[in-house]
Amino acid sequence: MASYDVIIIGSGPGGYVCAIRCAQLGLKTAVVEGRETLGGTCLNVGCIPSKALLHASHMLHEAEHNFAKMGLKGKSPSVDWKQMLAYKDDVIGQNTKGIEFLFKKNKIDWLKGWGSIPEAGKVKVGDDTHEAKNIIIASGSESSSLPGVEIDEKVVVTSTGALELPKVPKTMVVIGAGVIGLEMGSVYARLGTEVTVVEYLDAITPGMDGEVQKNFQKILKKQGINFVMGAAVQSVDALKTKAKVNYKLRKDDSEHQLDADVVLVATGRKPYVDGLGLDALGVEMTKRGQIKTDDHWQTNIKGVYAIGDAIEGPMLAHKAEDEGMAVACVLAGQHGHVNYGVIPGVIYTHPEVANVGETEENLKDQGRAYKVGKFSFMGNGRAKANFAGEGFVKILADKETDRILGAHIIGPMAGDLIHEICVAMEFGASAEDLALTCHAHPTYSEAVREAALACGDGPIHS
């Protein structure tokens, strides 16, 4: 039995970042993790491995479609799937070992096993019970399936199974046109799989700006992904090496079927809180099964905190990281702060999609007067040189004050470009502030400046 200032349950981006900050602030810290490696879903079976496969499949796309145009001739590469998975696993290993190194460097104890909280101030891991002045639950989330759909991680898979299929399937049905469905769907489409996405709603990527949704879907269709929209999946019949997806079209209730070698279920995620003993402890939960917390991420039980996917808010690694750093500050007697109004969201397809702040639809609903500054990547020299002219930057600013309210980007490096707008928003900047900032030429970021100029006297290159 050991005694700590803080014990964190879960070593994903929320938990490990929180642990490092706690240790840096002088708190004696331990992290409970039952997986064989640190890093949680994100590093082991989520953000990081999917980005490796997205990168590899994008390189194949470039070789197949653009190399010859640039005078790079030779046989197109073929897919060695085993090697691609080995590359992905190597990337995972480098990242998870990196966290282990950071734990050692910061003198953070890794309590190996699955943790539970028998009472406030105590964490049980296996047969050992440890004492902690404060406990932080950072247990993350798990895929939520559908009634009538049984996951076997072979033929009917979640994102976890989709990252280690034994071979590249000929056909794949993706249930759900959210972030996971589109990222993994586009990996396999580029590797030659015929991908069909079945989505309940009439638009892809729920909650995104409507113009981006439409444009993004058009681009994905052009890349060869099929969509069945307004379709509610009722059940999946899994055979040994194939599956049948049964769905109903919402407009007329007609029933249809789709066959596929693999079905990816990507219909959302839910908090992973099994086995923590929260019921017995009396921790209050929301109707959606999330842990309820106050403004300081404390649950209704004193000294028990929760962050990340297990609580309310967007299920994003960087939101969890920010909460982790903030709660560490709170425990060290400092002020912890997360600006939930400025949390970027990114879809790592090619082109990438990124957003921050309000959508046009939200602003209309709120009855706010706003203006739109838009600039197409077709007018950006760097993008044209790199075959990346698809997409646009759209900035929404207050009509009266010019203050930036939101931004939406489809295009090259959108996930990186969005951050200058995040910083601008954190400082309460106007679109003119961005427009008056010198941007290096030739860079993709000039498109951001042009969109900001479009909120005022107009862009130069359109």
User: CA-based angle 140:145:149, to the nearest 5?
Assistant: 160
Which residues face 372 on adjacent strands? 396
For the chain, the straight-line distance linking the first and the last C-alpha, in angstroms and rounded, comes to 67
Q: Which CB sits closer to ligand NAI, 155 or 347?
A: 347
- Considering only residues 183 to 202 of the shown chain, the ones binding ligand NAI according to CB under 6 A are 183, 198-201
Binding track over 304-323 against ligand NAI, x by CB under 6 A: -----------xx-------
Cβ 389 to ligand NAI shortest distance, Å? 23
Cβ 280 to ligand NAI shortest distance, Å? 28
Q: Check if the beta carbon of residue 243 is closer than 8 Å to that of residue 260.
A: yes
- Candidates 10-18, 90-98, 230-238, 417-425; binding stretch for ligand NAI (CB under 6 A): 230-238
- The site that binds ligand NAI (CB under 6 A) totals a number of residues, namely 26
Instruction: DSSP letter for 427, please.
Output: T
Amino acid at 230: G
Cβ 286 to ligand NAI shortest distance, Å? 15
Q: Which CB sits closer to ligand NAI, 39 or 389?
A: 39
Binding track over 138-177 against ligand NAI, x by CB under 6 A: --------x----------------------------xxx
What are the CA-CA distances from residue 196 to residues 184, 285, 311, 345 (Å)? Answer: 12, 36, 32, 24
Cβ 231 to ligand NAI shortest distance, Å? 6
> Cis (ω within 30 of 0) for the bond into 459?
no
Amino acid at 274: D
> Cis (ω within 30 of 0) for the bond into 166?
no
Binding track over 328-357 against ligand NAI, x by CB under 6 A: ------------------xxx---------
Is 7 strand, coil or helix?
Answer: strand
- Which of 18, 179, 356, 417 binds ligand NAI (CB under 6 A)? It is 179
- Which residues, in sequence order, are CB contacts of 379 under 8 Å at separation 6+? 447, 450, 459, 461, 462
Closest to 217 (Cα-Cα) out of 208, 227, 207: 227
Cβ 313 to ligand NAI shortest distance, Å? 10
Q: Which CB sits closer to ligand NAI, 169 or 185?
A: 185
- Considering only residues 257 to 276 of the shown chain, the ones binding ligand NAI according to CB under 6 A are 266-269
Q: Helix, strand, coil proportions of the chain in percent (round to 5)?
A: 35, 25, 40
Binding track over 366-405 against ligand NAI, x by CB under 6 A: ----------------------------------------
- Which residues, in sequence order, are CB contacts of 280 under 8 Å at separation 6+? 118
Does residue 419 have an active-site annotation? Answer: no
- Candidates 104-112, 122-130, 231-239, 256-264; binding stretch for ligand NAI (CB under 6 A): 231-239
Cβ 233 to ligand NAI shortest distance, Å? 4
Token match 């838009």: residue?
374
Q: How far is 397 from 402, CA to CA, in rounded Å?
A: 5
> Cis (ω within 30 of 0) for the bond into 77?
no
- Active-site annotation, residues: 441
> Which residues of this protein are in contact with ligand NAI, per CB under 6 A?
146, 175-181, 183, 198-201, 206, 231-233, 266-269, 315-316, 346-348
